[in-house]
Structure 1
Amino acid sequence: MLRALYEYAVAHDLTLPDGYVKKTVAAYLCFSSRSEEYVELWLGDERPIPCPDIGSLANGTEKSNVIVEKRSVVIPDMENAKSRFFRQALEQLGETDPDARLCAERLTNPEILCAIRKKLDAKKIKASQRISFMVDDRKLHDSPHLLAWWQTFRQEILPPKSGELVPCLITGEPTHAVTTVLPISGLHSVGGHARGDALICFDKPAFCSYGLKQAANAPVSESAMSAVKAALDALLAGAPVLAGMKFVHWYDREVAAEEDPLLDENMFALSIDMEEEYDREEEQEEVNAVSAADRLIRSVKGGTSPLPLDANYYILLLSGVGGRVMIRRYERGRYEELQEKLTQWNQDLALVNAVGSGLCKPLKLTGRLIRLMKYQKSDKKIFDRLSKELAGITPAVLAAILHGGRLPDAVALRALAYLRSKLLAAESVDQENRKTEDNLDGWACQWLKVWLIRHREGGDTMLKETYNMDHGEPAYHCGGLMAVYAAIQRTAMPNVNASVAQRYYASCIQTPALVLGRLSQLSVHHLEKIRYPSVAESYRELLETVNSAIGNQVPTTLDLEKQSYFALGYYQMSARIRKETQERIQAAKKNAQEGE
């Protein structure tokens, strides 16, 4: 992993000189070589810039960083050891750089210091924010003299290196192992520290082995570890959050965004807004989108695109815990295998939408993971729940996607709980808006479909995108039968307060034999209330067909696997009925227009 990150940094020109790190600057103190009284304040931006850094030497000592430091050090309320060290370093740089000498002189002028404090206070620059200098529109950290001076100055303040040279674990070159490493930035949103988190730690007795202590157990060179940090900082900056973890991925060859299968609509694409999809209640529309992985596979077969099939992919799931980087999952593999597995994932997900008009729209993986928690109608902390409840199973889910393996049983359990809680939470709505309210959530049912397909050796080849009357599982058709009963009630009594689904779904999915008999009796009365005899007759025929598919005996109880079949059968049959109903309505309208 470290070697792959090092090579990424080298390939993307992210490496920095020894003792340099990237920092953000809140403000620049601006001076002029033509006017001693001139002083202004320019605000910085969020763009990190390479700066000298003395690392852990600044912690608890009289030393400080140079050129770029906190306001409390550069412009202290009362002079202290760190501020004196900063000014002395600036004076030393001033021996070779006139701009640095000018800045050091300005910092000794009480009137200028007073003006600086007023301007910093006016712009609300805090004591903990970093500031630097600018002279005649040139920033001091861009000085051409800085690097050479810093390399000499740094050697003077660093403690002498001791011990023999050992091979670096990253490059293999002889080196003096670094005892502390620079913290990794970018994990603050997933439990990391604001100052950064350590990737390698040697501060516990448990890390001592073979008579070696601390860094001697895993020796790395300063330059190699600096490159690893630069790579991780860059990758984390744009990485999406997945259940309280940062999802970091890269390739060892250049892969364009449109050729990256991990940016497919069903993974981390930006084309579908997850929060918007979660709040949507209107009818889902058919989307004829082609996934990135599908495009790639077809281009390979047709020979239309010179794809880098000899590339490798790398994936990290990272979070921060106690000031340290926690590696939740590390995956690597071949690029073409990734294409194949993600194409398989998309094929396994394929499922009719709730109204039967097409397939379910693509949804980012985070949006899918939300369907593995109990539904709450107004959940303001949905992402906090996601990181707490699903951090344990998300790495296993990702592994199943990348390797085409089984999903954990917890996926089916949680998807069923989500479906049940959302259905029971549904309030009575008017007939116009009920067209999707009584059906289940399609994205949650996709979890069940994939889990069932991969649950047993060889998979379930009879599970299709739409309802399959030839499927051999009775529980599947029990779900379909209940969907028919629900549709009959909805047609006969469109304004009923509590639907069949809301009243009986939770009990029917566990003990169908006890509930379906009751629903059969109710359907007799409901069928009599349907206005159009042809519609009632079509329902009777459908009931007969589904009952025949169930077989001679209705199951008494259903386990996890059969409950998943029941839910999927209910969903697909509801979608089929809605589609057929819409087709009848359109046909009736067409006949009426032709009759006129």
Structure 2
Amino acid sequence: MILQALTDYYRTLEEKGEISPPGWGEVKVSHALCIGADGTLEQVVSVQTEQTKGKKTVLAPRPMMLPAPVKRTVGIAPNFLCDNSGYFLGADNKGKPQRTLECFQACKALHEELLEGVDSPVAQAVLAFFRTWQPEQAASHPALLPCWDAILSGGNLVFRYEGRFVHEDPLVRQVWDSRYGTAEDGPQMVCLVTGERGTVESIHPSIKNVQGAQSSGAALVSFNAPAFCSYGKEQNYNAPTGKYAAFAYTTALNHLLADREHVYRMGDATVVCWARCGGDAYQNLMGWAFFGAEPSYTLTDLQGALKNLCMGNAVDLDEERLDPHMDFYILGLSPNSARLSVRFFLHNTFGAFLRNAQAHQQRLEIVKPVYDKFDTIPIWKLLDETVNQNSRDKTPLPNMAGEVLRAVLTDTRYPATLLNGVALRIRAEHSMTRGRAAILKAYYLKNTHPDVPKEVLTVSLNPDSTNVPYNLGRLFSVLEAVQSAANPGINATIKDKYFSSASATPAIVFPVLVNLAQKHLKKLDGGLRTHYDKQITTLLSKLGESYPPRMNLPQQGCFQLGYYHQTQSRFEKKEEK
């Protein structure tokens, strides 16, 4: 399903002219070898461009559309018209001169095979270069001396003849297209992606730009051990994928991953999304509505478009027609050594995804502090609430990230790992943030529990609630306010010492806290003392004759929500005054 969706997406982009044709791909090039008609190396020119990385401007290799490079393993495999110094010049810094010479000879043989008989001065110049070049003289060649260290660093090289790159010559391009289309270097089998019979690719091209994976690329489909093989088939012949399909799905996925504006991080997963018809507008709207990306349009336009799409109406955004019934895909990839693991793959209509995301945001809606600048809570911020922000590794649990995303976009129950992660952070840090309160509210709205009634799952304070754990949380907030008012500038309040134990064993902790509050009330002036005394009396009257001896995890969630609601209510009133 994943490979089929990516292959269809490749066809869509190819029809629009937005992606490389079969047999061609984007390669990063550092230097160009300028050659003469007789094959002599006249000059070496850097083709690197200035790019901004962070706050610095650095020279980086230039992306060029070149013949698709082969995927190298331990063997010798030359590329056509673009390769490193070991293959083009027979020189590198790897300390294996014999192997380097073999690489040069293989590259020479490939170019002679393809360019022999091509009636083009460009092709003949390349052939002359390989036939006259002496690898042992490379280190002393005058054209290479000024940039020798840079060339040996491993960057890719291309040829240039009379001011033009060799790969731009029409006859040379025609030779490569013919070779790629007719190459039959594998068995003939039925492709599982397209259903057509043809040559099967034994090693698929690499997938790049997945965070945490190897910079040279990793495999999405790979069989490299006897345990993965069956019926005597080796490598990717176990899941036959045609030459075209292998090129199409890898090119489309690399195209998505190279678009940094529409690539998102979810735990250890790198997430991409796309519509079957292509277009950035779908990705922009989903990125804003769900992943918390910076909006590319005005907030009014986005909210209007979101409302209409959720109702099933098509809208026009940035001169592009958005269809709520358009197929939409979301793919999450995680690194695994030299391979990639599919963390999740979701497929639905665009409108259905947006409706599920909106329902999730409505469940999360809760009163927010005045300093919180987020109108809605993006998914990455929710996951951050389960992580110790003082630790060196701030990555959420890998499985939890995928489970949460799947639950939100399919509108199913939230995973228990999300609740456990938040409860652990609250217990460890004695802190109730907006994100943690929102998670508790959303979790119990979707995953209903008899100990958590809907009367406590409100956006703001519910003063009419009779739920005992909820009112205990409110009481704890009032007692903390009394302590702070009696001791201005206090460094640590009762929250720092008693919050976890008060929510778990209130019968042990609250008698101590209420007695302590009476001493604090004596320090306050008449009006403030009366105000807090009335609040304490009202809340105590809702608790019955005794405190609960202990509370379970859902009841502790009610306690924490009551505390958060009461605290925000106190600050809201202060802000109004």
Query: Normalised by the shorter chain, which TM-score bucket?
Result: 0.7 to 0.9
Pick the aligned partner of 2:439 from 447, 462, 483: 447
1:558 offset after TM fit, Å?
1.6
The 5 Å alignment of 1:127-276 reads: 127-151=153-177, 160-162=185-187, 165-187=188-210, 189-190=211-212, 192-209=213-230, 215-237=236-258, 238=260, 239-254=263-278, 256-257=280-281, 260-264=284-288, 266-270=290-294
The Cα shift of 1:37 comes to 7.6
Distance in 2 (alpha carbons) for counterparts of 1:145 and 1:267:
47
Q: Of residues 511, 525, 535 in structure 1, which corresponds to 2:505? A: 511
Partner secondary structure for residue 315 of structure 1: strand
Change over 3 Å in CA distance of 1:172–1:159 after alignment to 2: closer
Distance, in Å, in 2 between the alignment partners of 1:290 and 1:461 is 32
Partner SS for 2:294: coil
Match of 2:536 among 539, 543, 568: 543
**Alpha-carbon distance change, 196 to 36 in structure 1, aligned in 2, over 3 angstroms:** closer
**Residue pair 1:41, 1:119 contacting (<8 A) in 2 also:** no
Alignment partners' CA distance in 2, 1:350 and 1:556: 32
Partner SS state of residue 144, structure 2: helix
Q: Say if 1:35 and 1:81 are closer, same or farther in 2 by CA, change over 3 A.
A: closer
Q: CA deviation at 1:352?
A: 1.1
**Structure 2 CA distance, aligned partners of 1:216 and 1:324?**
17
Q: 2:483 aligns with which of 489, 502, 509?
A: 489
* Structure 2 unaligned blocks of 5 or more: 50-60, 92-96, 317-321
Does residue 118 of the first structure (1) align with residue 145 of the second (2)? yes
2:403 is matched with which residue? Answer: 396
TM-score (normalizing by structure 1)? 0.81
Q: Given the alignment of the two structures, is residue 464 of structure 1 paired with residue 458 of structure 2, yes or no? A: yes
Residues 1:410 and 2:417 aligned together: yes
Whether the 8 Å contact between 1:75 and 1:117 is mirrored in structure 2 is no
Matched, 1:24 2:50: no
Q: Separation in 1 of the partners of 2:44 and 2:230?
A: 56
1:80 match = 101
Sort the Cα spacing of 1:527 and 1:257 in 2 relative to 1 into closer, same or farther, 3 A.
farther
How many Å apart are 1:299 and its aligned residue?
6.0
Number of aligned residue pairs: give it. Answer: 538
The separation in 2 between residues aligned to 1:447 and 1:12, in whole angstroms, is 39
Report Cα offsets for 1:429-462 as digits up to 9, x if no partner: xxxxxxxxxx632122221121121221799543
- Correspondence 1:495-574 to 2 at 5 A: 495-531=489-525, 533-574=526-567
CA contact 1:183–1:196 (8 Å) conserved in 2: yes
Q: Tell me how far apart the structure 1 counterparts of residues 24 and 253 of structure 2 sit (CA, whole Å).
A: 15
When residues 159 and 341 of structure 1 are mapped into structure 2, their CA distance, relative to the original with a 3 A threshold, is closer
C-alpha spacing 1:576/1:145, structure 2 compared with 1 (3 Å)? same
Partner Cα separation in structure 2 for residue 213 and residue 42 of structure 1: 42
Q: Provide the secondary structure at the position in 2 that maps to 1:26.
A: strand
Q: C-alpha displacement at 1:161, in angstroms?
A: 4.2
- 5+ residue gaps, structure 1, are 273-287, 424-438, 587-596
Offset from partner CA, 1:468-526 (integer Å, 9 cap, x none):
12334311111111000001111121122321211211211211121111111111121
Whole-angstrom distance in 2 between the partners of 1:300 and 1:350? 18
Q: Structure 1 counterpart of 2:274, which letter?
A: W
Distance 1:399 1:109, change over 3 A: closer
Q: CA deviation at 1:579?
A: 1.6
C-alpha distance in 1, partners of 2:557/2:304? Answer: 28
Q: Does 1:321 align with 2:324?
A: no
Letter paired with 2:89: I
Summarize the alignment of residues 339-418 of structure 1 with structure 2, pairs less than 5 Å apart: 339-354=354-369, 361-376=375-390, 379=391, 381=392, 384-386=393-395, 389-418=396-425
Paired amino acid for 2:162: D
The alpha-carbon deviation at position 52 of structure 1 amounts to: 2.4
The structure richer in strand per residue is: 2
User: Residue type of the partner of 2:541?
Assistant: S
Q: 2:348 corresponds to which residue?
A: 333
For residues 528-584 of structure 1, the C-alpha deviation after alignment (integer angstroms, 9 at most, x for no partner) is: 2123x222222222223323343444222121111112112111111101122333x
Q: Give percent identity, aligned residues only.
A: 22
Partner of 2:54: none
Mapped partners of 1:28, 1:48: distance in 2: 13
CA contact (8 A) 1:267 1:363 kept: no
How far apart, CA to CA, are the structure 2 residues paired with 1:54 and 1:500?
A: 64
Assess if the C-alpha contact under 8 Å between 1:509 and 1:563 holds in 2: yes
**Which SS does the other structure have where 1:39 is aligned?**
strand
Cα distance, 1:316 vs structure 2: 1.3
Opposite residue 9 of structure 1, the aligned amino acid is Y
Match of 1:11 in 2: 12
C-alpha displacement at 1:301, in angstroms?
Answer: 4.6
What is the CA RMSD across the aligned residues, in angstroms? 3.3
Structure 1 window deviating more from structure 2 (202-211 vs 226-235): it is: 202-211
Post-superposition Cα deviations, 1:138-180, rounded to whole Å, max 9, x if no partner, equal 2222221223222455689x67544xx5432211222232222
Aligned counterpart, 2:53: none
Distance in 2 (alpha carbons) for counterparts of 1:63 and 1:315:
34
SS at match of 1:6: helix
